[in-house]
Amino acid sequence: MTTAEERFWNNPEVVKEFELMPPSPYWKKFFQQIKNPASKKVLDIGCGGGRNTQMLIELNFNTYACDYYIEMVKATRKRIARITNDQNIKKRIIQASMLDLPYPDEYFNLILANGVFHNVSSKKEMETAIKESSRVLKPKGQICVNLFSNTFIDSKLYKINTEKYIYVTPQGLTMALLPKKTFLKIMENYNLILDNQLTEYKREVSTGKRWVIRGIFRKKL
């Protein structure tokens, strides 16, 4: 049975919207200052239409990318095909769940999780996603995170009373909106410690208004 999430994220119009997006300027600024990028393995979790995957490849990182939705994977491969003929890079763009990442332990120097950790149906699933990210990240490695929190709740969201922190959008998409302190505690539980100042702001996305928290975390030894 096709879920609301599958219908939304595999919808051609949504895929096209994400495929045309430019890379996130704040992440581009961060990755531009990293030395010897060719020696760094980077994973773009929930790559969507490939905007940040393209940026990482153009900056010469050893880039991997995954997304749960096959049409987004296809869009990323299509986007990357316009900038490189390297078949090895294309093979590294795969369909995979952030709840069960198909990579070895301590494999990546850096991870980019831009707008993905909140796309879950329970707090436990978010914990699993963060645990998996920590597992595949090298000690002292960094993970760049951007997610929605419950500091602001759009009035159009429907609260699921059987699951704490879980909301549904008018499009039928389920997501977890955790308090900032709860999210930071989960990160800390999996040895991911805030490495810079946390940025917070409200913004409008295609499914409504959201409160964003963004930060860079480092994995403890």
Percent of the chain with pLDDT over 90: 87
What is the token pair recorded at 22?
């430019």
Task: Answer yes or no: is pLDDT of 201 > 50.
Answer: yes
165-190 tens-digit pLDDT: 999 999 999 999 999 999 999 999 99
Q: Does 31 reside within a domain?
A: no
Domain count across the chain: 1
pLDDT, average across residues 21-37? 96
Beta-bridge partners for 91: none
81-102 tens-digit pLDDT: 999 988 888 899 999 999 999 9
> How far is residue 17's CA from residue 95's CA, in Å, rounded to a whole number?
19
Contact 169, 185 (CB under 8 A): no
Q: Does 30 reside within a domain?
A: no
Q: Does 27 reside within a domain?
A: no
- State the DSSP string of 70-98: HHHHHHHHHHHHTT---HHHHHTEEE--T
> How far is residue 48's CA from residue 25's CA, in Å, rounded to a whole number?
16
Q: Does 212 reside within a domain?
A: yes
Q: Which of 129, 154, 128, 133 is nearest to 144 (CA)?
A: 133
Q: Does 25 reside within a domain?
A: no
